[in-house]
């Protein structure tokens, strides 16, 4: 998709972080943008700022774990703009703890938002993209889908592995059918976002994990690393737009670390005589 001007883009998790940067970048490129988020005040502020700059944007409060909310998001988009060309399934949350201590409700919340949110988005919007001359889907996964060796993050890592697999399968099917719909999977590492504070939006059924010593240590380490070498969301967004224009599947803001993570997995697979000798 080499032209973004005049296209209609839907971005979930768009009130902050990477999602907000994506919405900004798309609107600056001339797209009409629908921002979706579960945080109403932040969403209103983002839309107000974009409109005051003369850009075409609307906000829709949506919980992507709800199929009905995602359908309502699609309906509102069509009512406002009449079409959809780009879908960015970006909304995500993080929670966890030592594996044996993680409640089932935490697993369900993280998977519902991070994985089922992408499933709902793709299933709902794919028919709308097919109605256009071309379309594009960007699914936000994570470097955790390449190297899940970080303690206390099992639900998040599992959800992002699933997003990568979904994206690869969907891309393969669309390419095999020669459909004019591209797919990219965004796999960022450390980025200056509010992901460490994702539990601010947790349902009442999901307990906070802040009182767990292992989680406290993880948060401290991640916060320090983010401050030390985290990327700006705007830099990530520009890479996504480049991938959309070039129809490039992998978006790797931390490319060196991503490739190293894959190499570590390959080395582990070939260690200890895993491959039979002939």
Q: How high is the pLDDT of residue 273?
A: 62
How many Å separate Cα 44 from the centre of its chain?
Answer: 21
Q: How high is the pLDDT of residue 211?
A: 83
Among 31, 20, 15, 12, residue whose Cα is nearest residue 244 = 31
Q: How high is the pLDDT of residue 147?
A: 85
Q: How high is the pLDDT of residue 219?
A: 84
Q: How many whole angstroms separate alpha carbon 17 and alpha carbon 91? A: 10
Q: How many CB atoms lie within 10 A of CB 93?
A: 25
Q: How high is the pLDDT of residue 277?
A: 58
Q: How many whole angstroms separate alpha carbon 223 and alpha carbon 57? A: 32
**Could you give the residue numbers annotated as active site?**
156
Whole-prediction pTM: 0.94
Domains defined for the chain, CATH in brackets: 8-273 (3.40.50.720)
Q: How many whole angstroms separate alpha carbon 69 and alpha carbon 143? A: 28
**Mean pLDDT, 10 residues at a time, the chain of 278 residues:** 94 98 98 98 98 96 98 98 98 94 96 98 98 95 89 95 98 98 97 90 90 86 89 97 98 95 89 63
């Amino acid at each position: 998709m080499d032209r973004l001007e005049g296209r209609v883009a839907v971005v979930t998790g768009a009130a902050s972080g990477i999602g907000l940067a994506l919405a900004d970048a798309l609107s600056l490129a001339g797209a009409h943008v629908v921002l979706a988020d579960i945080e109403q005040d932040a969403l209103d502020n983002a839309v107000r700022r974009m409109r005051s700059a003369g850009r075409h944007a609307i906000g829709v409060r949506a919980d992507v774990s709800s199929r009905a909310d995602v359908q309502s998001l699609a309906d509102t988009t069509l009512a406002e703009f009449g079409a959809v060309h780009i879908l960015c399934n970006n909304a995500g949350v993080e929670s966890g703890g030592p594996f044996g201590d993680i409640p089932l409700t935490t697993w369900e919340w993280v998977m519902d938002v991070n994985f089922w949110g992408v499933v709902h988005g793709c299933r709902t919007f794919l028919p709308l993209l097919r109605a256009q001359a071309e379309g594009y889907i960007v699914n936000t996964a994570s470097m955790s889908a390449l190297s899940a060796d970080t303690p206390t993050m099992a639900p998040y890592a599992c959800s992002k592995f699933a997003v990568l697999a979904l994206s690869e399968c969907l891309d393969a099917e669309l390419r095999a059918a020669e459909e004019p719909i591209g797919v990219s999977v965004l796999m960022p590492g450390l980025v200056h976002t509010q992901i460490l504070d994702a539990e601010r939006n947790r349902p009442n059924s999901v307990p906070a994990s802040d009182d767990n010593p292992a989680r406290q240590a993880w948060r401290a380490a991640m916060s320090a690393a983010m401050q030390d070498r985290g990327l700006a969301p705007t830099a990530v967004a520009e890479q996504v737009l480049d991938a959309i224009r070039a129809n490039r599947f992998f978006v790797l803001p931390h490319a060196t670390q991503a490739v190293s993570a894959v190499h570590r997995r390959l080395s582990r697979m070939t260690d200890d005589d895993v491959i039979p000798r002939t």
